[in-house]
Amino acid sequence: MKSNIKSFGFFISILLLFVAESIFAIKLGDTMIVFGDSYSDNGNGVFKISDGAFPPSPPYFEGRFSNGPVWVEYLSKKLDIPSVNYAAGGATINSMSVPSASGLNDEIIVPGIRQQINDYVDDAHDKGISAKGNLNLYVVSPFGNDYIYTLRHGPSISSPEQVIGQFITNLQTLFIEVGATNFLVATLPKLENLPGFSRANDTERAILSKIVEDHNVLLKQALDILKTDFRKVKTILVDTDKIFKKFPSKNFEPCLTINHEGTHVCDNPENFLFWDNIHVTTKVHEMLASEAFDLLK
């Protein structure tokens, strides 16, 4: 009888292990690696580079560009795996093509996503990570700094074709150099709806709308081609605008305002989509993480 109980217990243990390994749509390694801009910067980017000067904390949360943790932090917790974060606010796809900078006057120079990946590859090679059997989750999600820079400095700076081309090159580099196969990517939200562009004229808003539309279409096409060229690659695409639309409040005003009159923070940030003129509240970050987690199942 005892033998049967032990056998049954062993069977249950194996079954639970199988279920645990099968809960996700893709088999994940033990670490999440993050590259990106202010939407993914967990305080290890601009805040660290500026020796804690920017973004001012408070009212920002411990160096995040929000009032709490950002989406990759929530996702790391949901997945129950640690993360290594290279993201920095203000990052563009490649700072050699479009400058990557943060601060009130873009005075803080930060690494672009290409440069973040180069740093990671160097670190990975130093640690002996090779192109064999790498199942870590790689989050590579820019949120539009190339286009914001283009809008400010001229339409010839950076097009969706150029951005997506360099973006896919970054993923190819990770696959070739360290064997990365699991990629989590996000689409762009409608940039014209950000509070920072509320005063933009109709022409500027139309340009932004067209850029975002083209970017998202090209991104999906490029990811499909990538998976055809590199059959081991698996991609998960998070529809950011879908999350924005699901947010219960349609208040597009920012919770935080900083101007010549001083700093003002709203009383109920959980009811606000946007924390400041560009960035979302931690509530939205949590929703993004939940969507990503559901897609990974």
Structural domain spans, the chain: 32-296
Give residue 224's pLDDT: 96
Helices 71-79 & 282-296, crossing angle to 10 degrees? 40
Calculate what percentage of the chain has a pLDDT beyond 70. Answer: 88
Answer whether residue 6 shows pLDDT above 80: no
Check if CATH label 3.40.50.1110 holds for domain 32-296.
yes
- Integer Cα distance of 87 and 117 in angstroms: 10
Answer whether residue 189 shows pLDDT above 70: yes
Residue with tokens 């990517």: 185
Mean pLDDT score, 97-120: 94
pLDDT band for position 20 (cuts 50, 70, 90): very low
Give residue 293's pLDDT: 97
Mean pLDDT over all residues of the chain? 88
Mean pLDDT score, 74-95: 96
Give residue 26's pLDDT: 60
Answer whether residue 12 shows pLDDT above 70: no
Q: DSSP character for 276?
A: S
pLDDT band for position 28 (cuts 50, 70, 90): confident
Answer whether residue 2 shows pLDDT above 80: no
- Residue 181 in contact with residue 236, Cβ under 8 Å? no
List all residues 6 or more positions away from 180 whose beta carbon is below 8 Å from its beta carbon.
33, 134, 136, 138, 171, 174
Give residue 151's pLDDT: 80
User: What are the tens digits of pLDDT across the range 126-179?
Assistant: 877 666 558 899 999 998 999 988 888 766 567 999 999 999 999 999 999 999
pLDDT band for position 297 (cuts 50, 70, 90): confident
Separation of first and last alpha carbons in the chain: 38
Answer whether residue 36 shows pLDDT above 90: yes
Answer whether residue 76 shows pLDDT above 90: yes
User: What are the tens digits of pLDDT across the range 226-247?
Assistant: 999 898 999 999 999 999 999 8
- Integer Cα distance of 297 and 291 in angstroms: 10
Q: The tokens of 146 are what?
A: 């190339």
User: What are the tens digits of pLDDT across the range 205-230?
Assistant: 898 899 999 999 999 999 999 999 89
At 64 the three-state DSSP class reads: coil
Long-range contacts of residues 118-126, Cβ cutoff 8 Å, at least 24 apart: 119/86, 120/33, 120/35, 120/84, 120/86, 120/178, 121/173, 121/174, 121/177, 121/178, 124/177, 124/178, 125/177, 125/178
Q: Is the dihedral of CA 26, 29, 35, 40 positive or negative?
A: positive
Answer whether residue 260 shows pLDDT above 90: no
Mean pLDDT score, 9-23: 40
Give residue 71's pLDDT: 98
pTM score, whole prediction: 0.88
Ramachandran sector of residue 267 (left: φ over 0; alpha: ψ -120 to 50; beta: rest):
alpha
- Integer Cα distance of 72 and 143 in angstroms: 14
Distances (CA, A) of 202 to 136, 147, 190, 197, 286: 43, 16, 14, 10, 32
Give residue 29's pLDDT: 76
